[in-house]
Amino acid sequence: MFSERMYEIAMRASSRVTKVEAPNGKPVDPDDIRRTGKGKKIKMIGLAQGETSTGVLTTIDGFRKVADELGALLVVDTVASLAAVPLDVDRERVDVCFSGSQKAISAPPGMSPITVSSTAEEVFRKRKSKVQSWYFDLTTAMNYWGKDRLYHHTPPISLIFALREAMRLVVEEGLETRWERHRVNQLALIAGLQAMGLKLLVEKPSDRLPTVTAVMIPGGVDDGKLRNQLLDEFNIEIAGGFGPIKGKIWRIGLMGYSSQKPNVLLVLAALEKCLIDQGFRVSSGAGVGAAVESYTHAETAAAVSR
């Protein structure tokens, strides 16, 4: 859905856009972009590193290679992945990388951190026509951020202070430690879900986005009823699916501040209770037990590597 949103935004800006798709639960293959773009003048390739609607993680490297071959800029949405998943904007040479403040950074919503490479900046500066949107015109916004400090908009100062504090916490924890925390918590969640007999939408472990785990809703279980019970009885909100996978998946978010051991163990125990109430057979404590084992395994591995 969010990769599709990028397509929709580009269409509304009167760009000619070609969609390259993958089945839900799988990342797009860079070779499909290569085939689609061959012989065409492609200005930009856009993708979401973390696709929140399906819990799919896309590896950026292959797309950079295709972008180089096609002479295109690479634009990456990291709204659901920044500060949770390894990302190296400079090494991966992402031309435009944008994110959101409210997910794994865990600051208030309302800001979109963005980086622009010198190649992309040059492309913007050479534009012959003006950008239709005043507020999304980076050519003028960049003059505000740059040494000229030319007024472009009123900055949301209170939000920027909140973002600064959230970033300070990221630095205090350490980026690599934070990536590892997200990985370990998701592994424990997955171990628990699978031990309860649940299946995941994303089959290949390396394609799984650590911040969002998409679980297949078992047959006979009422999606809305279960999510309402989780909220009413346990104060836990999990999300449903969008579009063609609405009613087929649940999405469990573990991002930023919320990616914590107590949350993993609580959601597994609560899910077990709600599933049992709907007649789904779960062997008692299987989910929490498997998650605890997964944590113990991760702690032993970390101690050995120290």
Ligand X SMILES: Cc1ncc(COP(=O)(O)O)c(C=O)c1O
- Residue 80 in the binding site for ligand X (CB under 6 A): yes
Check: CB of residue 46 under 8 Å from CB of residue 222: no
State the Cα–Cα distance between residues 264 and 253, nearest whole angstrom. Answer: 10
Q: Judged by CB under 6 A, does residue 79 bind ligand X?
A: yes
Closest distance between ligand X and the C-beta of residue 85, in Å? 12
**Residue 77 is a binding residue for ligand X (CB under 6 A):** yes
Closer CB to ligand X, 50 or 287, in the complex: 50
Nearest Cα to 5, choosing from 53, 59, 44? 53
State the minimum distance, in angstroms, from the CB of residue 5 to ligand X. Answer: 6
Q: By three-state DSSP, how is residue 75 classified?
A: strand
Q: Name the residue with the smallest CB distance to ligand X.
A: 52
Kindly give, in sequence order, each residue whose CB lies less than 8 Å from that of residue 266, ignoring residues fewer than 6 positions away: 234, 236
When binding is defined by CB under 6 A, the residue of 27, 30, 45, 52 that contacts ligand X is 52
Interactions with ligand X, residue window 101-140 (CB under 6 A)? 109
HSE at residue 94, side-chain half, CA atoms within 13 A, is 21
Give the DSSP H or E segment for 187: helix 175-195
Q: Which stretch binds ligand X (CB under 6 A): 73-81, 122-130, 135-143, 196-204?
A: 73-81
Place of tokens 């065409």: 40
Among 33, 44, 48, 187, binds ligand X (CB under 6 A): 48
**Residue 83 contacts ligand X per CB under 6 A:** no
- Kindly list the residues in this chain that would bind ligand X in the complex (CB under 6 A): 2, 48, 50, 52, 77, 79-80, 100, 109
